[in-house]
A and B are shown apart, each in its own frame.
Chain A
Amino acid sequence: MTCPKTDSFLFQYFTGDSATRAKLLKEPHLLTCSDCSEKLSELLANESYLSSWEDVSVPSWNSKKIFDNGNSGVPNFWFQWIPTAACLVMLCVFAFNLQITDYGTGLNISFGKKNLEMESFIRDVRRVQELQLVEFNAALAEVELIQTQNNARLLQTVLEQTQLYSAQNFDRVVRLFDAQRIQDLEDMRQEYQQLVDSDYKTLRSLQQLASFVSVSNGIIQ
């Protein structure tokens, strides 16, 4: 039969300090409950088994080497701030010597003292660039004007030429149509004549036949 108190008892025993352990060993329950006492002795055996580890002596090694490699002194508390301080100094030097110049076309970032000669040179270059730009724009406008005029002239010529050609072509077409119409009329007239001629021949034949028949009847009678 398993005692319901065993688990909590053992937990209290093995997680308690030495005073707690001594107190728990004197518990009347432990003296009467075989289950608890048996499991306690088992776990105690485990603890003593773990304690049976035989400490091994440390092989020889040079602990002084660590000390010496660290510049013969454990790093001072303030030493850790040296890199930060160095960074701050560099940042100050950098910030106070930094020049940012706006040249219109963009920002120019330079480090060190202001270079007056360079600035004057850059100003001159900018002025020349501006003049060149004005001249270029004027020349461009002139070229555009000439180009527009030429285009207009060309367009006018083309239109005139096209109109002329169109009139000539129209006359030619009208003449062609007229000639064709006259030809057609002539053909129709000839065909009609032929038809009339053929009708006339037919009538003649019929007349001849009628006269022949009447002559023949007279003879018979």
Chain B
Amino acid sequence: MQSHNDDKDLIRAALAGKSASWQKLVRRHERRVYNHCLRLTGSDADALDLMQEVFLGVYRSLHTFRGDSKFSTWLFRIVHNKSVDAIRRRRSYRFLENSPDDESASEIDQFPDEEAVEPYAALSLTQTNARVLRHLDRLSYEQRLIVEMKVYQGMTFEEIGQVVRVSENTAKTRYYSALKKLKNLLEASNDMS
């Protein structure tokens, strides 16, 4: 609650033109956003780009934040929108790179694919993170988003529903089915190893 009020104060000050308040607001949330972007893109550079894009979006629409919901919920709505944009961009980029009849290029669920994650993971991610990312990557985008918000952002299903614009029950169902799918994936990878 304290943090919520602090966010509101910082937003008010930033809207009044105080650069320091804006920076403080960014510093407070950048780690969560960056790690979210990293889990989504699997690359340091892409995650940083996406994070900057998110904060640019936040800056541009900060005056529209009415304070009805928590700032973090509002922020993750922007993160979600920017992520979807990034996926669409990546998809069209892949469409240009690959043959037009490549079906995998048109599936939102396939982002980022294993081939895309693996080289980055080898370079910059720790072994644990790379492994988690590999398993997350096998989930559908919708399931992955719910897992992201529930597990890593600690949001309630009501908040998740607000961000993703689905009902609370749908969010719950997706989360539960994501856990079950992950269990099967882990079992399969354990069997293979």
Whether the pair B44, A59 counts as a contact (CB closer than 8 A) is yes
How far is it, in angstroms, between the C-alpha of A128 and the C-alpha of B48 when the chains are bound? 77
Kindly provide the distance from the CB of A83 to the nearest chain B CB, expressed in whole angstroms.
Answer: 15
**Closest A residue, CB atoms, query B22:** A67
Tell me if B63 and A63 are in contact (CB < 8 A).
no
In the bound assembly, the distance between CA atoms of A74 and B22 in angstroms comes to 9
The answer for the CA separation of A70 and B34 in the assembled complex, in Å, is: 22
Q: Is the CB of B151 within 8 A of A63?
A: no
The smallest beta-carbon distance between B55 and chain A, in angstroms, is 6
- State A76–B135 Cα separation when bound (angstroms): 44
A39 to chain B, nearest CB (A): 9
Task: Tell me if A15 and B175 are in contact (CB < 8 A).
Answer: yes
- Interface range for B: 35 or more
Q: Chain B's nearest CB lies how many Å from the CB of A99?
A: 42
CB contacts (< 8 Å) of B125 on chain A: these are: 56
Rounded to whole angstroms, the CA-CA distance of A59 and B15 in the bound complex is 26
Q: How far is the CB of A166 from chain B (nearest CB, A)?
A: 86
> Is B92's CB within 8 Å of the partner chain A?
no
Which segment, of A42-50, A173-181, A190-198, A204-212, faces chain B? A42-50
Among B59, B64, B179, contact of A66 (Cβ-Cβ < 8 Å): B59
Q: How far is the CB of A21 from chain B (nearest CB, A)?
A: 13
Interface 1/0s, chain A 51-85, versus B by CB < 8 A? 11111111101011011101011111100100000
Residue of A nearest to B27 (CB): A63
Question: How far does the alpha carbon of A10 sit from the alpha carbon of B180 in the complex, in Å?
Answer: 10
Is B56 a contact partner of A66 (Cβ separation < 8 A)?
yes
The answer on a CB contact under 8 Å between B26 and A63 is: yes
> Which residues of A are found within 8 Å of B182, using beta-carbon distances?
46, 49-50
Instruction: Determine whether the beta carbon of A58 is less than 8 Å from that of B31.
Output: yes
Known pairs A46-B183, A64-B23, A77-B64; list 9 more (Cβ under 8 Å): A50-B132, A50-B152, A53-B132, A56-B38, A56-B125, A63-B23, A63-B30, A66-B52, A67-B19
A contacts, CB < 8 Å to B: 10-11, 14-15, 17, 42-43, 46-47, 49-59, 61, 63-64, 66-68, 70, 72-77, 80
Interface of B with A (CB < 8 Å)? 14-15, 17, 19, 22-23, 26-27, 30-31, 34-35, 38-39, 44, 48, 51-52, 55-56, 59-60, 62-64, 125-126, 128-129, 132, 135-136, 147, 151-152, 156-157, 172, 175-176, 179-180, 182-183, 186
* Cβ contacts A to B, 30 pairs, < 8 Å: A11-B172, A14-B175, A14-B176, A17-B156, A42-B183, A43-B179, A43-B180, A47-B179, A49-B186, A50-B136, A50-B152, A51-B151, A52-B128, A53-B35, A54-B128, A54-B129, A56-B35, A58-B30, A58-B48, A58-B51, A59-B48, A66-B55, A67-B59, A70-B60, A73-B17, A74-B15, A74-B22, A74-B59, A76-B63, A77-B63
